[in-house]
Amino acid sequence: MPEKNVIAIDLGASSGRLISGSFDGGKIALKEQFRFSNQPINLMDSLYWDHLKLFQSIKYGLSIAEKDLQTIESLSVDTWGVDYGFIDHLGKVINAPHSYRDGRSTRHQKEFEQQFPPEEYFFATGVQPDTIDSVMQLFADFKERPYLKNEIDSILFMPNLIEYFFSQEKVNEFTIASTSGLLDGQTRELSSEVFEKLAFEPRWFGEIQKKGRILGKLLPQIRKELGLHSEIEVISGVGHDTAAAVLALPIKEEEKFESGFISCGTWSIVGTQTDLPIVTKQAFEAGLTNEGCYDGGNRLLKNITGLWIVQELQKEWSYQGEMVDFGKMAELAAAAGPAKSYINPNYAAFANPGEMEQKIKDFLRLTGQALPKDRGELLRIIYESLALSYTQTIRLLEENTGKILQRIFMFGGGIQNDLLVQLTADYTQKTIQTGPVEASVTGNIISQLMTLKLLEEKDRVAVLKNSFESQTIQPQLAAKEAASATAAFEKIAETC
């Protein structure tokens, strides 16, 4: 088979990338073509995404990619969840899309919960209530700008909004829509209960698309502007970055319900696949949430504040005149030896930027624990606490699914930290399989290849194993010691 080139546009909450995937029928080769920043913009105490910069940066990246690759078959976009843009009756964007960190949802949280109590919301949607949820953001939008309801023709989630700019076709893809709190917890279609209770219009979102869809060729005016020769297909593939990553895991169909996953990055996402959403009181109280898979299945998971804490420390220390890279951080933590104290990564103060070292020490004082003597001990506390929070969540997943998770797949940039991976194996007492590092990008590419009929589902795992290296890590810590540390962590986590 002649080599085919597709472009994954992977947008994160701090940067965006165009990564090419070259497929020869048996192996995928990745290459970064272009990278650009993507920071939310604070304007008059509101946070927005610069959609115009995103569009322009992607166009520039496409021109670079075609010069390198000669021909491009298709492109598709994956992003973080929950955020969206408004389209008016002329097909134009209404204002810049808000960032999920914008404060307007918090201003209206109490009023929302009066109309839709948290447990009732979970049972309707299968989603844990959070001010970042699309449904809460929309509620706040209409409270502060009620005129919007008359101006809106369509609402598109972020990956679908960007694809619209390149195709002028409007769709909302299932995996990204599943993060919104707008879907029914059982049917996974738009929730009539949500829309009636909050006076939203289902027509704004259209039909929710499952699996991949070719939206059409790249707009001719864009091809002309960039001088492109390729007639690039714009594909709505797997829109949510974590769903894309799960598609990139070499998990056989018969093993997927006994396998867990940990997305290890700024956020840590710990989950497992289930046939149907799990919408029970036990799941609600455990803080578990349900999101969609590319094939229409379900991911039961929990979000944990992840390496954000370490990233904030790095930034803080750089402001003090010393840049400590992530590799050096791991070395310092390894040399420090076992932690004597723990933090709860989901403690509210850790989610906010600034003064992270002081916040950690304040938490340790609050919980009556020993303070670190140096940076190595401080970092060791963080890494062990993350691994222990993963362990606690894995146990909750097993209790709520009735399945014993035999193997845990770790992916994302965090798997380059050997210490964190080994600690996760030690405390979970599970076999850990790592990779790929670029899991979201890989899943994006896989979804395009399947949509173009260049790759069949039955061959997906073989192609992934042929394309990317993976390591298997076994526990080295005795089960009794792991259980003791887990109990001590959970006692701390319960108090704060």
- Give the Cα separation of 313 and 315 in Å (integer): 5
Tell me the C-alpha to C-alpha distance, in Å, between residue 212 and each of 75, 276, 372, 433, 472.
12, 20, 50, 28, 31
Helix, strand, coil share of the chain (percent; to 5): 45, 20, 35
Judge contact between 197 and 181, C-beta under 8 A: no
Element (H, E) at 244: helix 241-247
State the catalytic residue, choosing from 102, 241, 295, 426. Answer: 241
Q: Write phi, then psi, for 84 (nearest 5 degrees).
A: -155, 170
Residue 194 near residue 187, CB atoms below 8 Å: no
Tokens 């001010």 belong to 131
Give the number of other CB atoms < 10 A from CB of residue 7.
29
DSSP 35-88: EEE---EEETTEEE--HHHHHHHHHHHHHHHHHHHS---EEEEEB-SS-EEEEE
For 391, the token pair is 């362990």
Counted residue by residue, the chain has a size of: 496
Listed as own residue / partner, the contacts of 216-224 with beta carbons closer than 8 Å and 24 or more positions apart are 216/167, 216/168, 216/169, 217/167, 218/75, 218/166, 218/167, 219/166, 219/167, 219/168, 222/59, 222/166
DSSP string, 279-324: --HHHHHTT-EEEE-TTS-EEEEEEEE-THHHHHHHHHHHHTT---
Phi, psi of 253 (to 5 degrees): -55, -40
> C-alpha distances in angstroms, 149 versus 46, 135, 205?
20, 14, 13
- Given a contact cutoff of 8 angstroms between Cβ atoms, the answer to whether 177 and 158 are in contact is no
Q: Are strands 4-11 and 74-78 parallel, antiparallel or unpaired?
A: parallel
Task: Give the whole-angstrom CA distance, residue 461 versus residue 305.
Answer: 30
Active site residue 241: yes
Give the N- to C-terminal CA distance of the chain in Å, as an integer: 57
The total of other beta-carbon atoms located within 10 Å of residue 18's CB is: 23
Residues 432, 410 contacting (CB under 8 angstroms): yes
As annotated, the active-site residues are 241
